[in-house]
Chain A
Amino acid sequence: DTAVSQTPKYLVTQMGNDKSIKCEQNLGHDTMYWYKQDSKKFLKIMFSYNNKELIINETVPNRFSPKSPDKAHLNLHINSLELGDSAVYFCASSQARGPEQYFGPGTRLTVT
């Protein structure tokens, strides 16, 4: 039944580590996104993929690399984690040119 799912929901790790967050959608959507929500609840887009092609790439450190093995999946890999990477990361999806984006439950990343 889950439309947009993310794993894990919580991730605690140490500075310098590399980690991945996985996202899957079963809505048949063509476009997927990653957002970052900081400690002040500000939500900002990081990336979007349309049918496995990178469309939006905001000013994000190149330690962050999205990977889309197929149009139902968009994973986020983060190298050399820093304290400032602590945030909630949301995956979302939409139909191509469709207005609404449907969000996953979020992954709370804590870097210690």
Chain B
Amino acid sequence: AQTVTQSQPEMSVQEAETVTLSCTYDTSESDYYLFWYKQPPSRQMILVIRQEAYKQQNATENRFSVNFQKAAKSFSLKISDSQLGDAAMYFCAYRNRDDKIIFGKGTRLHILP
């Protein structure tokens, strides 16, 4: 069974600085998807970024980018120029071939003004 591990329960970053959230996963599949979801205090789950395992190029979405290391089974999220609105829980997630998404336990990100 696949697992997703986020080793940082909480992190803080100064506004306008860069922060990296870590995620590792375990799988025997070769074809899968990885995601980062954001959950602000409103509790809405918002898709931040997606990475297909077959793509070597790291996904980017504006200030958000990933460092995908398939061999190491690592999928970290980098947030550049952090803004107050980035404060939220961030969940790393893995989608397997059975269409099931497995979530990590989340990292709570605080933005310091």
Contacts and interface: CB of A to CB of B under 8 A. Distances in A.
A7 to B, nearest CB: 15
B105 A40 contact: yes
Interface in B71-113: 89, 91, 95, 98-103, 105-106
Interface string B48-91: 00101000000000000000000000000000000000000101
Contacts, number: 49
B10 to A, nearest CB: 12
Interface residues of A, number: 23
A44 B42 CA distance: 19
Interface string A50-92: 0000011000000000000000000000000000000010101
Chain B interface helix/strand/loop/mixed: strand
Contacts of A90: 45
A31 B89 CA distance: 26
Nearest to B106: A41
B98 to A, nearest CB: 7
Interface of A: 31, 40-45, 48, 55-56, 88, 90, 92, 94, 97, 99-103, 105-106, 108
Interface of B: 33, 35, 37, 39, 42-47, 50, 52, 89, 91, 95, 98-103, 105-106
Given A43-B45, A100-B47, A103-B46, 4 more contacts: A56-B100, A100-B35, A100-B50, A106-B43
